[in-house]
Amino acid sequence: MTESGSPGDPGAPAGDAPAPTGGSAAPTTGWAAPPPAAPVPGAAGFVYGDVLYRIIALIIDSIILAIINVIVFGVIVGLTGLNFVGFLATVVVGLAISAAYFTFMWTAQRGTIGMKVLGMQIGNAGDGKTLTQEQAIRRWLVLFGPQVLSQAANTAVGVSLGGLIGLAVLAWYIFLLWTTYSSPTKQGWHDHFANTMIVKSARVLA
């Protein structure tokens, strides 16, 4: 993939889906234009969001969720005590918080806090429109569903079998990373499954 200036130029990124454009359309109708007054030099428009930026964004989001979960864990343990019921409650609530955070940020804000810090946004692959709730849920299930199964297996069947399932989950995430890295449009299998695409402002690259 080549980092291009204006998406309308001949050198704009090409791939399986239409190249993202940086017009002035509202967020609900297409890709939202990057801030015009950004002091960082660079070409206007967008390029496809690469693996490194996505990993950094996910790390930022994970830190935010970890802080929230620690607070929630303290409240639940204070109410139920440090026992199996309390542990199960924290797992369920933690998953609910993760699902709510990602699906809400993807649909209402067009990107999580980590994505916004790095100038990225997510939209429908075909036209850049804001994701539907169904798309957000499908994407969350593919990204975090295997992790949920691994945690449940460790609790239900023990560490030995749970470890094998954990290895399978690790292989799954390597597969998602590889499909994202090797895609001309940086769409992993999870993006194709939910028909989503992540782009970033070209200005952050300069």
Residue 145 pLDDT: 84
Residue 6 pLDDT: 41
Residue 201 pLDDT: 83
CA 178, CA 51: separation in Å to the nearest integer?
Answer: 9
φ/ψ of 69, rounded to 5, equals -65, -35
Phi-psi label, residue 76: left if phi above 0, alpha if psi -120 to 50, beta otherwise: alpha
pTM above 0.75, yes or no: no
CA 72, CA 10: separation in Å to the nearest integer?
Answer: 51
Find out whether 54 and 198 touch, Cβ atoms under 8 Å. yes
Residue 118 pLDDT: 93
Mode of pairing for the β-strands spanning 120-124 and 46-48: unpaired
Local structure of residue 21 (DSSP, 8 states): -
Consecutive 10-residue runs of the chain (206 residues): their mean pLDDT?
42 46 53 54 67 95 93 85 77 89 96 95 91 96 84 62 77 94 93 94 60
Residue 68 pLDDT: 93
Measured over the CA atoms of residue 60, residue 143, residue 183 and residue 18, the dihedral's sign is negative
CA 128, CA 7: separation in Å to the nearest integer?
Answer: 13
Residue 24 pLDDT: 43
| 164-180 burial code (b ≥16 CB/10 A, e <16) | ebbeebeebeeebeebb
Residue 120 pLDDT: 94
- Tokens for 43? 């070409």
Q: Which of 1, 36, 58, 4 is nearest to 206 (CA)?
A: 4
Q: What is the residue type of 105? A: M
Local structure of residue 155 (DSSP, 8 states): H
